[in-house]
Structure formats: structure tokens, C-alpha cells
Amino acid sequence: MMFQRLFLLQFFLLLSSTTATAKLLHTIPRLSPTGPRVWRDHPDQISGEFVGEDFETFFYNQTLDHFNYRPESYDTFSQRYLINFKYWGGANVSAPVLVYLGAEEPIDGDLAAVGFLADNAVQFSSLLVFIEHRYYGKSIPFGSREEALRDASKLGYFNSAQAIADYAAIIIHIKEKLKAKYSPVIVIGGSYGGMLASWFRLKYPHIALGALASSAPILYFDDITPPDAYYSIVSRVFREASGTCYQTIKNSWAEIDELASKSNGLSMLSEKFKTCNPLTDASKLKDQLNTMYASAAQYNKPPTYPVNKVCAGIDGGGFGDDILSRIFGGLVAYNGNLSCYVNAHTAESETTVGWRWQTCSELAIPIGIGNNSMFPPDPFDLEDYIEHCKSLYGVPTRPHWVTTYYGGHSIKLILQRFASNIIFSNGLRDPYSSGGVLENISDTIVAVSTVNGSHCLDILFAKETDPEWLVAQRKIEIKIMKEWIDKYYADLSMF
């Protein structure tokens, strides 16, 4: 099923450790509008009217390299995009075009989960467009995924600047084909896609009238945001859910290391946590628990609220009163009843492979763990990170390129002078909100935040059970977008 093609929040492969207490190279949680499959809504609970049947699939003959003029730059590949014409008012009235910018997964998953465009198509009389990111899904250069991912010389075309140039070319192509020269375009994206949406508006203001950037941590680069901010919020969300749960998690790491250091400790850990394969050290167990807690916090959305579920499993003591039994209870509560829970042999998804390259090359988000959290301290070490990425790909990370190319430092001072029409939406329980724009920059670059919101919640399909604060957030976003469009039409009438 299309819905099953959504991907889990994933971390990179970590450097293996030879002892239970060896320090791991800390890595970057994946950005994605959708959360782990275990806590997503069943597709039957989503407004399926717009998913699939109302979209037509097209392929654009995309330029490989938009920024150079070498012979190989003119190579092309087929890039997938989908259009829903059902509610469009038409080119003759310059009806709007809402464009969703795909990110680090095949576009199918976004069609199944991101409902903001479809939910509002009627009131905007808008054309809906979903564009797939290069190197994902069916938008693969060099003829095959194997060839495209072969080495850094091929991966070098896999970056955000090329991606938004792709989007610009496709939007222009669509408007030309539909003779919709004066139809205003609003680009929408979530997480990494939200960053792309905001950057698109900055780089291509002549193509996009405005941008809705949901949960876009554009300030989590260089030293703009403290490296420990992400895990500080994860810890806060758990502490607010249950103080005893928070403390149990905080105490569990030392318990794991102590048991792992014993002669038969790894065997005991494997048995207690029902691992799929015997543990050779404690790192895989700790990594999976770390990922579970971070994922639960990042996607802590109603009505499931996975943080509450995890803490109920930990506090409930259904598997025993000792610390590790309680932690296992949280693992079961999060995942459900499984035959095994840790270190299963699974094939890497294209998202995992692609995101590893993207964060190793340009999206070096410096996430670390400080001393004031429920996790063991693990500060971000840029030199180690660069060397690790270089060992994988033969080329070093460019950690400062994002702020050089798109900006970020002194963002209010800079953007208020030349930019406009960007909505930065965030839920403040999302750990990535720490790197988001949380204050208005100007009258037209605005922050729309909710205290209880999670990652990209505002752009997912609306449901009858949505809390009032979420409904209100979406209404604010829609009102602002309508104001952009109304002003555009007023300006257009003057020409």
C-alpha cells in the first residue's frame, strides 16, 4: 500500500564500538513530515478522496546540473511530479497553484500524509502540484539508483541548491503548458522540505509568491542554535509527561552499561530486551532507545501522543519493577507486541542512504547532547563528524555552506530588509523547533507556533479529532496565504 511506503525516523549508521561504554559518533535525526509507521494514522482514517486517484503523474526531462556549463552538466533525467486539476479555477482567472516540495523520501509518502494542500484546494480553487526530490523515488539520475549513488562524483549533484532549481524549472514548465502565466504560486514544505520552501522563496521570488515552511529548522546550522537544544526539548517533553518516567530513562543508561560490563551481561541484556540477534555490545540497544525517545518526542501528536504511551509503559511496571524491565515496558508500549525489538537485520531504505549523504555533504546540523538532559552527554564534535563523512565518501563536509548560500546569521536584521511572504510554522514540543524561526521577522515574514504542537503537524491531513489549537493554527496560515493572493490580484489588476 502507498501508505506503507512512508519511512521511519532514522539515524545514520553509527561508528561501531568495541566496548559497552565506548563513545559513539552522534548523528543527526532525520527530518520528515511523517513519523514512525507504528504511530501513524491508518490510511482509512485519512481523508483519502484526494490521495492517488485525483492526481495525474508526469515526468519532466530535468537538467542534471543547473549551475555549470560542462558537457556533462547538460545530461538529463526524468523527474516525477503529480498534478491534481480537480478544483483548479483555471488559467483564465489566474487561479492559484499550491506546490508541495518533496524532500528526503519518495513523493508517494507525502501524498498519503500531507493533506494541507488537498484540504484547502476548494477554498483556494487551486491547482495542486507535488514534486519529487532528485535522487529519491522515481527521480533518479544516471539511469539507476545504484549508479547514482556509486561515488561522490555522482552524488555531487545531490544537494538542496540543485533541488530547488529543479522545482523552479518544473513550476515554470507547468505554468507554460497550462498557459497560467499569471497564476500565483505558493510553495509548501515540511521539515527539510520546509527549509527548501523558505529557501525557494528567497532564491526564486519571481516564481513563488510565498512559502509555508512547516517545522523548518533553518537556524540549526553553524553556532546559531546551541547543539544540545534538540535533546533538551526531547528531555523536557518526557519530563512534562512524567517525572518518574524521565528519571527512569535518565538512570537506565548507567544500568545498561553496568550490566553489559559483566561476563554474561550482554546475554542478559539480549534476553531482557528480546533482541532479534545477540548483542555484541550495548551500543545498538542504546542507539535504538535513543531513537525511540527522540522519535516519540518529535512526532508527539494527538490523539496517540507516543511520549505518553512510552511513559505509561515505563511507569506501569508491567514487566518488572527494576529499571531495565521498566525501560523494556516502554519499548513494548511504543512498538506493540513483536517477536523481537532490537537490532533486526533490515535493508537500508533509500531515505537512509540519501539522508546520510545530504547531512554529510551540506546539511551538517550540529546536534549533540549536553549535561542537562535524560541522555548521557555526547557533545557534537565537528572534526570527528567531518572525518567520519570523509571516510564514507572521500570528501569532507561543508558545515558552513548552508549559512553562506542561504543565510541564517542575524536573520531578522537581514531578511526584514529584502524578503517577504514566508510563514514559519512550528510546534514547540518538536525538538527541531529549537532551530526554527519562532518570532516574526517582519509584517510578512511571520512565525505561527503552537505550544503543544509536534513536527509538521499543521500540514498533515485535518481530522475531526484535531484539537482547537491545531485548527486555529491552520486557520491563521490560510488567512495569511489568502492575504498574499488578494494583494497579488490587486497588483495584477494595475498592469
- From CA 335, how far away is CA 317, in angstroms rounded? 16
- The residue with cell 511507569 is 315
Q: How many CB atoms lie within 10 A of CB 125?
A: 13
**Residue 52 — left, alpha, or beta (φ > 0 → left; ψ -120 to 50 → alpha)?**
left
Distances (CA, A) of 209 to 203, 212, 218, 261, 387: 12, 11, 20, 59, 41
- Tell me whether residue 151 is one of the annotated catalytic residues: no
Distances (CA, A) of 62 to 79, 161, 201, 467: 6, 14, 21, 42
> Which listed residue (26, 133, 388, 455) is catalytic?
455
* Pick from 351, 343, 436: nearest CA to 137: 351
- Tell me whether residue 191 is one of the annotated catalytic residues: yes
- Tell me whether residue 409 is one of the annotated catalytic residues: no
- The residue with cell 531578511 is 415
* Pick from 131, 140, 123: nearest CA to 164: 131
- E strand or H helix at 422: strand 422-427
> Which listed residue (166, 315, 430, 466) is catalytic?
430
- Here the cell at position 173 is 514548465
CA atoms within 13 A on the CB side of 270: 12
- From CA 222, how far away is CA 149, in angstroms rounded? 27
- From CA 3, how far away is CA 41, in angstroms rounded? 10
- From CA 172, how far away is CA 192, in angstroms rounded? 22
- From CA 342, how far away is CA 440, in angstroms rounded? 43
- From CA 125, how far away is CA 89, in angstroms rounded? 5
> Which listed residue (191, 232, 295, 361) is catalytic?
191
* Pick from 57, 92, 102, 117: nearest CA to 183: 92
* DSSP structure string for 193-236: HHHHHHHHHHH-TTT-SEEEEET--TT-STTSS-TTHHHHHHHH
Residues in the chain: 495
What percent of the chain is helix, strand and coil (3-state, nearest 5)? 45, 10, 45
- From CA 369, how far away is CA 381, in angstroms rounded? 11
- E strand or H helix at 382: helix 382-393
Active site positions, annotated: 191, 430, 455
